[in-house]
């Protein structure tokens, strides 16, 4: 398989999507952040001094999806039609999972936007909680699924 972001000389390029027809695109990315029991409880119970951690992280994740092309050099600017960031608590592992779903009707996929949204949501949790726990670990950030486009649908583990 050829790398689409390289020309015949090996130079980095932005992929030319001018000949493609717009289609509905959807991507979901997830990641996790593990933390101490004290920090986990504070986030869950709304006891973090900086404020409502998950509300701020949700907005940060959404904002990040809209700025992906500014952060990742060869990404196209996309007109997103939907972005949602959701969180789930895992009591057994003291982890919070962030899931970012992004949609657009366009000529290229939204995988990078979903991955960026999930990552920035997790980084925001870290930032807001670092006074309680500097040993938090962000892990397992990956594309869960994507729909649409020339390469077809994808499901992680499927």
CATH of the domain at 53: 3.30.70.640
User: Which pLDDT does position 18 carry in this prediction?
Assistant: 85
What whole-number distance in Å separates Cα of residue 55 and Cα of residue 37?
Answer: 20
Selecting among 90, 127, 133, 153, the annotated active-site residue is 127
Is 98 within a domain?
Answer: yes
Model pLDDT, residue 57? 98
Residue 136's pLDDT is 98
Summarize pLDDT for 27-78 with one digit per residue, the tens.
999 999 999 999 999 999 998 888 899 999 999 999 999 999 999 998 999 9
Q: Is residue 70 part of a domain?
A: yes
Give 65-103 pLDDT, tens digit per residue. 999 999 999 899 999 999 999 999 999 999 999 999 999
CA–CA dist 96, 91 (Å, integer) = 9
Question: Which residue has tokens 């007109």?
Answer: 79
> What average pLDDT score do residues 9-16 get?
81
Q: Cα-atom radius of gyration of the chain, to the nearest Å?
A: 17
Answer whether 99's CB lies under 8 Å from 30's CB. Answer: yes
Q: Is residue 72 within 8 Å of residue 135, measured between CB atoms?
A: no
In a domain, 90, yes or no: yes
Question: Which pLDDT tens digit goes with each residue over 121-147?
Answer: 999 999 999 999 999 999 999 999 999
Q: What is the pLDDT of residue 4?
A: 73
pTM value is 0.93
Residue 13 lies inside a defined structural domain of this protein: no
DSSP single-letter state for residue 94: T
Parent domain of 131: 24-149
Q: Is 16 a catalytic residue?
A: no
Residue 52 belongs to a domain: yes
Residue 154 counted as domain residue = no
| Number of domains composing the chain | 1
Per-residue pLDDT, 21: 86
């Amino acid at each position: 398989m050829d790398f689409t972001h390289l020309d015949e000389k090996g130079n980095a390029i932005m992929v030319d999507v001018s000949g493609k027809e717009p289609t509905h695109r959807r991507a979901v990315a997830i990641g996790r952040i593990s933390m101490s029991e004290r920090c986990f409880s504070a986030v869950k119970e709304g006891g973090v001094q900086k404020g409502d951690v998950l509300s701020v992280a949700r907005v940060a994740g959404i904002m990040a999806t809209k700025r992906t092309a500014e952060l990742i050099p060869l990404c196209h600017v996309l007109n997103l039609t939907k972005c949602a960031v959701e969180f789930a608590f895992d009591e057994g592992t003291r982890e919070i999972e962030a899931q970012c779903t992004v949609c657009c009707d366009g000529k290229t996929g939204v995988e990078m936007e979903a991955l960026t949204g999930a990552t920035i949501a997790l980084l925001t949790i870290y930032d807001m909680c670092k006074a309680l726990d500097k040993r938090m670990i962000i892990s397992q950030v990956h594309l869960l699924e994507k729909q649409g486009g020339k390469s077809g649908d994808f499901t992680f583990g499927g």
